[in-house]
A and B are shown apart, each in its own frame.
Chain A
Amino acid sequence: DQQVKQNSPSLSVQEGRISILNCDYTNSMFDYFLWYKKYPAEGPTFLISISSIKDKNEDGRFTVFLNKSAKHLSLHIVPSQPGDSAVYFCAASDGGSNYKLTFGKGTLLTVNP
């Protein structure tokens, strides 16, 4: 039973355009959401998070949107850069607990120059 779903295994965009990565969840107890970025042969790196009391959080080129009624969140990267090419993991937590983090399978983003 996959509680956090990233239905697109891969996404390819042109440099300078917007990248939109999507994530759906099924557990209504999830109330804290995070995005991690992972380069090959490295560990995941925290990117941005959002609490369920918000519907948007922005940090530079990265914005996360949360639609609680649809149990859907998305990560927007504007403008996309070749260095953004990586695997992006969506993660969700019940009560914000790191030991209750559930990760999606990841989406490979490729930004073409």
Chain B
Amino acid sequence: NAGVTQTPKFQVLKTGQSMTLQCAQDMNHNSMYWYRQDPGMGLRLIYYSASEGTTDKGEVPNGYNVSRLNKREFSLRLESAAPSQTSVYFCASSLLTVNTEAFFGQGTRLTVV
């Protein structure tokens, strides 16, 4: 059981480039999430998908788009990367959206220069 798998683990982008962060879970969870973590700050929710076929904005959605490709996969896209998007990105999943803990991937460290 791999749990939540994120790719890539590291990425360096130039300002204006685009990229997609991939996330897959094998726990048959309904809900999936994308967070970012910045130095000295807690995790902040970017987007989430309560169930297959639905996506909603979180606390910091600007500059990002998401796709819930199927029940297993939830991708995060940066259309035109900016230095302010330099961060560590975590994907997570949970069985339900309420009162169930989320399981996190190992993270993607993204640097935009």
Contacts and interface: CB of A to CB of B under 8 A. Distances in A.
Contacts, number: 59
Nearest to B93: A98
Given A32-B99, A97-B98, A99-B48, A43 B31 contact: no
Contact of B99 (A42, A89, A96): A96
A98 B100 CA distance: 8
Contact of B107 (A43, A95, A99): A43
Give the size category of B's interface with A: 20 to 34
Give the size category of A's interface with B: 20 to 34
Interface stretch (B12-20, B39-47, B65-73, B77-85): B39-47
Interface in B80-110: 90, 92, 94, 97-107
Contacts of B92: 43
B76 interface: no
Q: Which of A4, A44, A91, A103 has the most CB of B within 10 A?
A: A44
Given A42-B107, A51-B99, 14 more contacts: A41-B106, A43-B4, A43-B90, A43-B107, A44-B43, A44-B104, A45-B104, A89-B43, A95-B98, A98-B94, A99-B50, A103-B42, A103-B43, A105-B41
Interface of B: 4, 31, 33, 40-45, 48, 50, 56, 58, 90, 92, 94, 97-107
Closest 4 CB pairs of A and B: A103-B42, A43-B104, A46-B101, A96-B99
